[in-house]
Amino acid sequence: MRVAVLADVHANAPALRAVLDELDSDPVDAIVAAGDLVSGPLNAEVLDLLSSRSEPVHWVRGNGESDALEADPGRTDASSTQDSAIWTAASLDERWRDELRSWPISLCLDDVRFCHGTPRDEHEIITRATPDEILAEALSEVTESLVVGGHTHQQMVRRVDDRITYVNAGSVGFPYEDAPGAYWLIVADGHPELRRTSYDVEAALREMRTAGFTGLDELVDGSLVNPADPAWVTAFFEHTAGRGEDPGEQRPRPV
C-alpha cells in the first residue's frame, strides 16, 4: 500500500495543489492529512482541495485545528498567535468546524501510526535533537513499528530503541528546511520515502496575500522568503519544549 502523508499545509493552497498535481502522475492508494491543514490564509480552499480527491483521505487533527476550534471568532483583543486561530475559525463554516471536531489526533492505517505531534498529544514537540529517552517515552504506548507525524516543519527519520521508527513528514506549506518547497512523505509498504515538490513561491505568495490574512508575513518569514538556518530552528523548538538553551532571536512563527 502507498500512502501520501501531507502535514502542516497551514492553508497554503498553491503548495498543496503542486503536491496533488504530483500525485495525479504518481498515484497513491490513500492520503493521510496529518494535521495543521488550516491556520493560515486559505483554509477552506485547502480543505476543499483535499476533500475532493478520488483517493480515500484520512484526517488527523493538529494543534492548528484544535486551536481554531477553541477560538472565539468575534474576539478582537488577541495576540498574533490567537489572531491566526480566530481567522481560521471565522473562515470555516459550521460544516467544516464539525468535521474538524471529529478528527482523531492519531490513527492507524496499514499497520502504521499517524499523528501530528505525537500519538498522545497533537501539541507535543519532537525535533531532530530531542533526546532519545524523551522520544522513547513519548512513544511508549505505541505498538506499531512506524510512527509518522509532523508539527515541527522539518523532515526527519529516527530510530527509537530498535523498536520504532519515528518520521516527520515535513511541512507542505511552510517548511523550515534548507530551501523553499513543499515537503511531504510517501509510505510504501511500511517504508518512508521523503519527498520535496518545487512550485512558484512568488506566485503562491501573491495568491495568499489576496486572502487578507494579517499573519502571512510572520508565517513566511524564516520559511519561504528568508529560510532560517535549520539547525537554529531545531534549537528554537527544543527551547520551546523546555529542553535547551534559548538560541536567540525568534524568527519562525510558533507551530
Does residue 69 sit within a domain? yes
**Distance in angstroms (rounded) separating the CA atoms of residues 105 and 152:** 16
**Distance in angstroms (rounded) separating the CA atoms of residues 66 and 38:** 10
Residue 3, pLDDT score? 98
| Residue 98 φ/ψ, nearest 5 degrees | -65, -40
Q: Which three cell numbers stand for residue 84?
A: 491566526
- List Cα–Cα distances, 230 to 152, 189, 192, in angstroms: 11, 30, 21
Q: Which three cell numbers stand for residue 194?
A: 521523503
**Distance in angstroms (rounded) separating the CA atoms of residues 233 and 222:** 9
- The residues pairing with 148 across neighbouring beta strands, listed in sequence order, are 114, 167
Does residue 105 sit within a domain? yes
Does residue 79 sit within a domain? yes
Residue 80, pLDDT score? 45
Residue 78, pLDDT score? 39
Does residue 147 sit within a domain? yes
Which amino acid type is present at position 207? E
- List Cα–Cα distances, 143 to 6, 120, 138, in angstroms: 23, 13, 12
**Distance in angstroms (rounded) separating the CA atoms of residues 6 and 181:** 13
Residue 76, pLDDT score? 47
Residue 73, pLDDT score? 66
The answer to whether 36 touches 12, Cβ cutoff 8 Å, is no
Taking Cα atoms as reference points, which of 255, 227, 242 lies closest to residue 7? 255
Report the greatest alpha carbon distance in the chain.
Answer: 49
Residue 128, pLDDT score? 97
**CA-angle at 132, arms to 128 and 134, nearest 5°:** 95
Residue 71's Cβ-side half-sphere holds a number of Cα atoms within 13 Å equal to: 28
Task: Please count the structural domains in the chain.
Answer: 1
Could you tell me the residue range of the domain that residue 26 belongs to?
2-240
Does residue 250 sit within a domain? no
User: Three-class SS of residue 77?
Assistant: coil
The answer to whether 188 touches 27, Cβ cutoff 8 Å, is no
What does pLDDT average to in each consecutive run of 10 residues of the chain (255 residues)?
Answer: 98 98 98 96 97 98 95 56 78 92 97 98 97 96 97 96 94 96 97 98 96 87 90 94 86 61
CATH number for the domain spanning 57: value is 3.60.21.10
Query: In this structure, what is the dihedral angle of CA atoms 62, 63, 66, 71, given to the nearest 10 degrees?
Result: -140
Does residue 132 sit within a domain? yes
Does residue 200 sit within a domain? yes
pTM over 0.85: yes
Residue 5, pLDDT score? 98
Does residue 246 sit within a domain? no
